[in-house]
Chain A
Amino acid sequence: MSSLKSHITLILALISILFSIFLFRVFSEILNLYQKNIVDNYSIVIVSTSKIDSVNIPIVEKTEPIDTTKQIKTLKRKFKNIDFSKVQLPYFYKLKLKKLPSPKELKELENRLKNKAFVKRVLTHSSSQTKIYNLLMLLNLITKTFMVIIGILGFLLIVKQLEVWKLLHNERMYIMELFGAPVWFRGAALFKIAFTNSLIALLITFGLIYFVTNSYIFNVIIKELNINYHVDYIREFGILFVVAIAISLISSILVVVSKK
């Protein structure tokens, strides 16, 4: 019974660590994709007194002229008494950014643009952009903090388990050492238990991952965010396998090495 309990403790600890690692990765990826999506759909509009090719600011990826032909036609129709050939019309440009700027970066960018002689006006849509940015950052912070806490709790459970293992296996390992057994021999039973436990934890975690990522809610969220996200199960399995084996092997080596 106590042995079963000690197995369950390690398995649960491993599951919590593996699952939080997976969620950490998924959230990061989803947020990145979502940020990219916002960046793709976000632009700053500037009104320029002259034709320009670029604004020469590093964060700005592209400077695209806005086609105003349609608007001018409409104006010409509405204001027939104005001779538009004599009016110097401004040029409108859409600035595509390399990344989603923070409110501070956006303010700095706005000031830099306003300082340029050819820029008459800058439209940043800053209030809606700032809201989205802050919301994303908050979500990022909350999820990552949550995952780190789960990870730490899992780690503490494993440390606790190490103490139990030390008590359970210390005598046997000591006797083996008295007969000149090398580390791998003394730890063989522990390594076996650790390996089996990590495989069980990995399979359970993977079942959970499969269930969560195929759930209705998960797919609705992905659809709502309008991003193209798919879980690469093979890659995730590989990463979690390496993590699970590494954690359990390091734990058992620590028990073998710090035998007293």
Chain B
Amino acid sequence: MAIIVDANNFSIHYDNTQIIKPSSFKIKTGDFVFLTGISGSGKTSIIKALYGEIRPKGSVRIGEFEMSRISKSQLATLRRHLGIVFQDFRLIPEWNILKNVMLPLLIKGIDKNQAQEMALMELKKVKLSHKADKFPAELSGGEQQRAAIARAIIHRPIMILADEPISGLDEYSASVVMDLFKKANDEGITVLIASHSMPQDFSREYRQLHIEKGEVYELS
């Protein structure tokens, strides 16, 4: 399997504070990875470094892009090939769910009608097609997160980066959301989930990267 993330002796700093100490890890295509650690351990910082919101020191390569010196246009290109899921969903409040899910396709320049059809199919998969014309505020937290996952996978990204995607969701919604990540992974999409704890009864092969005192290491 090809290596999709190659983090080599990288560290993350906020102002002068070191959040992540020099660490290394690799993620291969098709991996299902959990990034665990207590709150404030730096999970979100690593996810942010992977989608280019913050610049790491050292080397973090995603495919052909070196995140420590990625240009704006390269970053936009990379992001068009990533699927990002946030704890607070980050759906566009003034757009309905259908249009929110269509977003990555519209950015890629796919025809509006075709994008609409694809978004409806994706919403069917996350069991939200009946709420396509609703606005985010009209949906429950679990539903919003399902819509956010539909948006993250509709363009078949190379990797999904999810930051605390089940935090704050009830048990049922959390298990539905995890199932959606599994399905995406079944389709060959690499999944990296930052979570303060491992979900219960997680029945699948996975890897776990753990952060403790700023150091990232793999739990076997």
**A residues lining the B interface (CB < 8 Å):** 171-172, 175-182, 185
Contacts and interface: CB of A to CB of B under 8 A. Distances in A.
Contacts of B93: 171-172
Q: Which 3 A-B pairs have the closest CB atoms?
A: A180-B79, A180-B80, A180-B76
B121 to A, nearest CB: 19
Contact of B84 (A171, A172, A179, A181): A179
A178 B47 CA distance: 12
A179 B80 contact: yes
Contacts of A176: 92, 103, 107
Determine which residue in B76, B78, B81, B91 has the highest number of CB atoms from chain A within 10 A of its CB, and name it: B76
B28 interface: no
Contacts of A181: 76, 103, 107
* Interface range on chain B (Cβ under 8 Å from partner): 20 to 34
Nearest to A168: B94
Contact of A185 (B81, B84, B90, B107): B107
A172 B90 CA distance: 9
28 contacts: A171-B93, A172-B92, A172-B93, A172-B94, A172-B95, A175-B90, A175-B91, A175-B103, A176-B92, A177-B76, A177-B79, A178-B53, A178-B79, A178-B90, A179-B103, A179-B107, A180-B75, A180-B77, A180-B78, A180-B80, A180-B81, A180-B107, A181-B76, A181-B103, A181-B107, A182-B107, A185-B106, A185-B107
B56 interface: no
Interface in B80-101: 80-82, 84, 90-95
B92 A175 contact: yes
Contacts of B53: 178
B181 interface: no
B104 interface: yes
Nearest to A172: B92
Nearest to B152: A179
A192 to B, nearest CB: 14
Interface of A is mostly: helix
A148 B148 CA distance: 50
Contacts of B92: 171-172, 175-176
A179 B94 contact: no
Nearest to B93: A171
A177 B51 CA distance: 11
Contacts of A177: 76, 79
A171 B86 CA distance: 14
Nearest to A181: B107
A181 B75 CA distance: 10
Nearest to A169: B94
A177 B79 CA distance: 8
Contacts of B79: 177-180
B108 to A, nearest CB: 9
A79 to B, nearest CB: 95
Nearest to A174: B90
A171 B137 CA distance: 15
Contact of B76 (A172, A175, A182): A182
Contacts of B81: 180
B164 to A, nearest CB: 16
A177 B53 CA distance: 10
Nearest to B76: A180
Contact of B51 (A171, A172, A178, A182): A178
Given A178-B51, A178-B53, 9 more contacts: A172-B92, A176-B103, A179-B79, A179-B80, A180-B78, A180-B79, A180-B82, A182-B76, A185-B107
A178 B91 CA distance: 11
A230 B77 CA distance: 55
Contacts of A171: 92-93
A191 to B, nearest CB: 15
A176 B95 CA distance: 12
